[in-house]
Amino acid sequence: MSTQTSEAPLQSDLRVPVIDAAGAQAARLAGALQSLVKGLANPWDESTDYFHHFVAIMPQTAKLDAESFRAAVGIGARYEVDLSPADEKLARVGDPDIMGNDIADAFRQLANVMRATLSDLSIAFARGKGVTRVRVWLFGRTSDGTLVGLRSLSTET
């Protein structure tokens, strides 16, 4: 005889994270950013890697620096985090003389959308000794501090 009930499981029984309204909005924005770069290769890569969206929780009061970013996205201690403002890199990939018109247009559109919806636009690389496949994140912060953006791999030789 079964003792199962039709009651919903308790919150602690759920295997998926619960996303509040702000988290759902951040996830939608991350998905929209990925849509903007669909088919565009990571321009900071010697190979051809593409972007994937990401969202990471960071309290609004936390200062964005290499260590807080490391903690938010789960980068191991063996890696050095190189975090910097993204403006210069976005300007470069938005330059048609460097990237060609179509690619530059797409990256300028991405930069405009990110600037309109996020603050603290940044780029981060996680490099390690002997590692040639380097993780890279292009992201910003929502008003509640959440990190939203794109991640990829870069081949560095």
12 is a domain residue = no
- Cβ-contact 155, 132 below 8 angstroms: yes
Which two three-digit tokens encode residue 96?
A: 């048609």
Whether 131 maps to a domain, the answer reads: yes
Answer yes or no: is 78 within a domain: yes
Q: Sorting pLDDT into bands at 50, 70 and 90, what band is 45?
A: confident
Q: Which domain holds residue 29?
A: 20-155
Q: Is the pLDDT of residue 49 over 90?
A: yes
User: How many folded domains does the chain comprise?
Assistant: 1
Residue 104 belongs to a domain with what CATH number? 3.40.1460.10
Q: Judge whether 1 lies within some domain.
A: no
Tokens of 112: 């405009």
Flag whether 7 is in a domain. no
Residue 19 pLDDT = 56
- Within a domain: 83: yes
Query: Is residue 9 in some structural domain?
Result: no
- Percentages (nearest 5) of helix, strand, coil residues in the chain: 35, 25, 40
